[in-house]
Amino acid sequence: MACVKPDGSLTALGRQVLAALAGHALEEAIQALQLPVYRVRSLARSLEEAGLVESVDGSYRLTPEGETKLAAPTED
């Protein structure tokens, strides 16, 4: 259930979660993703640990690295 592959690129789910979290409260992301709360929390924590998002006043903001990863073309 990792969001970030060993090479540093995002998994498909990681990209979806990153996009859903950008500028939104966790509850909004949970509704948008239609995933269980525990899973979205875990994935958000992974993205935060990877330095791609930061929690600010109950919402998530993409870091510059997160913006770059989200803007990068998908490998799929």
pLDDT along the chain (76 residues), means of 10: 82 92 88 92 91 87 92 74
pLDDT given for residue 2 in this prediction? 80
pLDDT given for residue 4 in this prediction? 86
Residue 36 belongs to some domain of the structure:
yes
d(CA 50, CA 65): 9
Q: CB count, 10 Å around CB of 75? A: 10
Residue 5 belongs to some domain of the structure:
no
pLDDT given for residue 19 in this prediction? 92
Counted domains in the chain: 1
Residue 59 belongs to some domain of the structure:
yes
Q: pTM for the whole thing?
A: 0.86
List beta partners, residue 60.
Answer: 22, 55
pLDDT given for residue 76 in this prediction? 54
Residue 48 belongs to some domain of the structure:
yes
Residue 20 belongs to some domain of the structure:
yes
d(CA 5, CA 47): 11
Domain span holding position 25: 12-70
Residue 63 belongs to some domain of the structure:
yes
Per the CB < 8 A criterion, the answer to whether 24 and 32 are in contact is yes
Residue 75 belongs to some domain of the structure:
no
